[in-house]
Amino acid sequence: MSAKNGKQFNNKKQTMVKDSKFYEKLLNTYLQGSVEAAKTAPITDTKISTATKKAIKHLLKQRKKDTFWDGKIEDTPALTAQYILYMHYMDMVDKEKQKKCVNYLLNIQNENGSWRIYAGDEGDLSYTIHSYFGLKVAGVDPNIPAMKKAKEYILKNGGAEKGNVETRFLLALFGKSSWKRAVPIPLHIVMLGKWFPLSMYNMAYWIRVTLVSMGILYYLKPVKDLGTYCDIDELWLDLKMKKKYTCPKKVKPFSIGNLFYQLSKFAKWLVKVLPKDRMLKKALRWVLEHQDESGDWGGIYPPMMYGSFMLKEMGYDNNSEVIVKAKQAIERFHYVTEDEIMQMSCVSPIWDTAWAIIALNRAGMPYDDSVIQKAKDWLYSKQIWAEGDWKIHAPNAKPGMWAFQHYNDYYPDTDDTAVVLMALQESIKDGKESEIKGFKAGCDWLYNMQNPDGGWAAFERKIDKKFLLKIPLNDLDNYIDPSTPELTGRILELFGRLGFSIDSPFIKKGIESLKVQQEDFGSWDGKWGVNYIYGAFGVLRGLGAIGYNMKEPWVQKCVHWLFSIQNQDGGWG
């Protein structure tokens, strides 16, 4: 290190220490009761008051176990089709559950024969292939109108050969296309340390926790032969494509994307020639170490399904504890009615409960009401005190945070932690040592999770290498977890409520990141909600809470945009 670089490093380190001391002093001042939290204005309008009382009554009816809230999460119906495939792959077919899954899929099919990603879209090719295949595996007659319409949609939109990376992988697992067509997952490369740019530790957690199990399966290349009754040759425009490896995303000849595609061909060869046994054992150990006690992996459905497939192929039987727990975790994500089962991607009890407390308190329910107190105690009981993968890029951070789901100890997130802390803010006035300790630990974790660019990402720091969006595996452009404006705004709001202002160095960095991320028309792109209104909501509340001058031109630009998109009935869509 040169003298100049050494001096810059030491100056940066001194600034970080100074910032940290400033943060500690101000937070401790708040925790000791010297800073008063902002009060919510009372509701005086009669109509709003009446509507609020009705909303409170409805919200209280939604509680689970008379304690917390956990609403329905709608995702692509293809997850329900994947659950059918899961049952068949694992030789665990429950005919009654399968029937309910079939009912759900047929009832939610789009008019054009497709299945959607989100409510109101006109269909997704890959997830329509999954749904069609899942229904056929379940024994649904391919000649019924629903299946004919689905087939027509698939062929009209390019056939099975246009399916995405996951579609190639699933079809290969069931022998409906060749493993030659699957995109390679070279574990020898992706399991290298964070120092290597293509390491899984530089990829978003939801990719990492799924990729290792899928990588093992790619090395093993198993085929679950269910018979010819569920063949889907009718979905291919050109059957020769079943054995041909092509780039799964559009790339220009002279581009980084095409370079990665050519390298992926080399990766296929690499997987063939490198010794596998040691790598498979290493990968298996990683997967087992990252399974929560509850059986979950990452609190989301895909790694639970692929993890189960992988364990089966690695010699675990269906009665083994890891597979039994994984099955229980998957089925906890079922939304069940009398006639249907919908497979949810995850559950949201922490998020829902925190917002419910905030809403009830702002609507006039005293914080010492038993409803809020029970929910408050439950949230403290869900605080995570174990280290997870976030420690890799945030070595100074210590545990004491929250996840979105019931169980996800390895991958808590900043958004839930911030909202939970806002919900628990009033609790520290009681002076309970354990609650003050928990509250401060959550704040400390958030402080240490700030990205170098000044913003906050959802799960980890420094998962923002944009070149990862170019690799063939990443056809959905979701391999990174960068700072997002609505999360930065939410965390600024929390610290603003705790007495921090624009004088705080880390707050200033957050503001600068928001200026950089603002869209030309004035708002912000909210990644974890829909979408520009959500971004504006998070950012404006954050800026207001820290005492920022809301008359600044760049802030007013967003305000003017919000007025410009207001609906004629006075609301926003």
Catalytic residue among 415, 416, 453, 481: 415
DSSP per-residue string spanning 302-364 = HHHHHHHHHHHHTT--TTSHHHHHHHHHHHHTEEE-SS-EEE-S---HHHHHHHHHHHHHHTT
Contact by Cβ (8 Å): 479, 209: no
How far is 204 from 188, CA to CA, in rounded Å?
A: 18
**Rounded CA gap, 142 and 345, in Å?**
27
Q: SS3 of 481, please? A: strand
CA–CA dist 195, 111 (Å, integer): 49
Coil, strand, or helix at residue 64? strand
138, 106 contact by CB (below 8 A): no
Residue of 207, 199, 113 whose CA lies nearest to 480: 207
* Amino acid type, 31: L
Active site residue 415: yes
d(CA 34, CA 17): 24
Determine the longest span between alpha carbons in the chain, in angstroms: 76
- Whole-angstrom Cα distance, residue 490 to residue 421? 11
Cβ atoms of residues 126 and 166 within 8 Å: yes
Here the tokens at position 206 are: 């939801």
**Closest listed residue to residue 210, CA positions, set 328, 291, 97, 319:** 291
> Taking the C-alpha atoms of 316, 317, 323 and 327 in order, what is their torsion angle to the nearest 10 degrees?
150
- Catalytic site residues? 415
